[in-house]
Amino acid sequence: MKIFITGSSGFIGFSVAKHLMNAGHNVHGFDNHNKYYDVNLKKSRKKILAKYKNFSFTKGSIENEKSLKNSILKFKPSVILHFAAQAGVRYSLDNPKIYLYSNIIGTFNVIEIAKLSKVKHLLIASSSSVYGANKNIPFKEIDKTETQLSIYASTKKATESLAHSYSSLWQMPITMMRFFTVYGPWGRPDMALFKFTEAILIGKKIQVYNYGKHSRDFTYIDDIVEGVIRVLDKPAQPNLHWIGDNPDAGSSRAPWRIFNIGNNSSVKLIDFIEAIEEVLGIKAEKEFLPMQPGDVLETYADVDDLFREFGYKPSMHFKQGIANFTKWYREYYL
C-alpha cells in the first residue's frame, strides 16, 4: 500500500512508519519538526526513516493547507495515518491557541484533503485524555466523553466530532485511535519516563505530582504500533445496530469507529518511579507536589473491542518496557 503519515518524525509516527516499511509498504512522511521538544531527536528519527528506499518526505505543517494538499495529491495514498498534533496537557494551559490551530484546523485540513483524494481509510490519533472527569474504570469506548479537563483534551474530542460529521455526510471510513500514555525507546522528552530517567541520571530532583498517587495505563510503543497496524487493514464500517435512543458513543451508522489502544492495566505513578530506580540502580530525590491543573486521577483502557474485532492483546510488562527505554536512552544520549 501507499500510506501517508502526518507527524512521521514524532514518536508514534516514526515507529509505525518503520514497521510499515519493513513490511514492504511505501510511506510518505509529513512533519514540520517544530520546537515543542528537542528538534534533534525528531531529525534523528527522520534520518533513520530516510535510509529506507520506500520512504519519501515533505517538511511542512498540517496548518498549511496548500503544502499538505500538494503532498497528499502528489503521493496518492490509499491510507492516511494522521498523528501530527500539538501534544502536552500542561503546555496547553499557557498556549491554548497553538492547540486550536494545530489540532483542530490542522486536522480539518487532513480530513478535507482525505475526502478530496478519496482515500480508502483515514486513521486519526486521539487520546485517553478525552475521557476527562469520567470515573468509570476502565474507560470504554461506549462511555460518554463530555467533560474534558484540559485544552489539549478538548481539541482531541473536537476532532473526533469533526471526523464523525465527515464520515456521516460523505461515507468516509474514519477510525479514531485513543492512545493511552505511550512510552518506550525514541519516546518524547516531555513524558514522565523520559523526564524521570534524565533527572535521576544527573542527580536532579524529580517532581512527583499528586504525591505519586495517580495511575496511568502505560502502553509500550510496540503494543501501540500493533494496535494501529491491526485496525489499518480494516476500514471502519457502519454499525447497523446503532440506535439514537440508546447511542453507542464508540460507533455510528456512519463508517466511523473509536478504539482504545492501551495496555489494559493501570500502574500507580510511585510504582512506575520505583521501577525506574530499580533499573537505573539509583534512588531518585523526589519533590512531592499536589495534583496539577488538567490532570486526571487515573487512566485505564478497556481494549475488549480491539481484542474482539482484531485479536489485539498488549504484551509488554511495564518493568521490561522501562528497561528497554533506559537502555536506548543511555545508548543515544550518554
Q: Is the pLDDT of residue 334 over 90?
A: no
User: Under a CB-based contact definition with an 8 Å cutoff, are residues 217 and 300 in contact?
Assistant: yes
CA distance 225 to 14: 10
Per-residue pLDDT band for 102 (boundaries 50, 70, 90) equals very high
**Helix, coil or strand: residue 226:** helix
**Average pLDDT of span 35-45:** 95
Q: CA-to-CA distance for 28 and 71, rounded, in angstroms? A: 9
Region 126-141: what's the mean pLDDT?
94
Q: Is 260 in contact with 139 (CB distance < 8 Å)?
A: yes
C-alpha to C-alpha distance for 79 and 214, rounded to whole angstroms: 37
Using left for φ > 0, alpha for ψ between -120 and 50, and beta otherwise, residue 88 falls in: left
- Grid cell at residue 47: 534520518
Residue 255: per-residue pLDDT:
97
Q: What is the pTM of this model?
A: 0.96
Place of cell 483515514: 122
CA distances from 149 to 10, 41, 95, 208, 299 (A): 24, 30, 15, 20, 13
pLDDT level of residue 245 (50, 70, 90 thresholds): confident
C-alpha cell recorded at residue 11 = 514518536
pLDDT for position 244: 83
Grid-cell match 522528552, residue found: 189
Catalytic, out of 131, 152, 183, 220: 152
What 3-state DSSP class applies to 61? coil
Q: What is the mean pLDDT of the chain?
A: 96
CATH for 2-180+220-263+301-314 is 3.40.50.720
Minimal CA–CA distance to 84: which of 66, 120, 111? 111
User: Domain limits of the chain?
Assistant: 2-180+220-263+301-314
Residue 135's identity, in one-letter code, is K
- Statement: residue 279 has pLDDT above 90: yes
Q: Is 152 a catalytic residue?
A: yes
What is d(CA 220, CA 191) in angstroms, rounded to the nearest whole number? 13
Confidence check: pLDDT of 57 > 90? yes
- Residues with Cβ within 8 Å of residue 153, at least 6 apart in sequence: 89, 127, 129, 130, 132, 294
pLDDT digits (tens, 9 = 90+) for 143-185: 989 999 999 999 999 999 999 999 999 999 999 999 999 999 9
Query: Is 258 within 8 Å of 126 (Cβ atoms)?
Result: yes
Distance (Å, rounded) from C-alpha 113 to C-alpha 252?
22
pLDDT attached to residue 80: 98
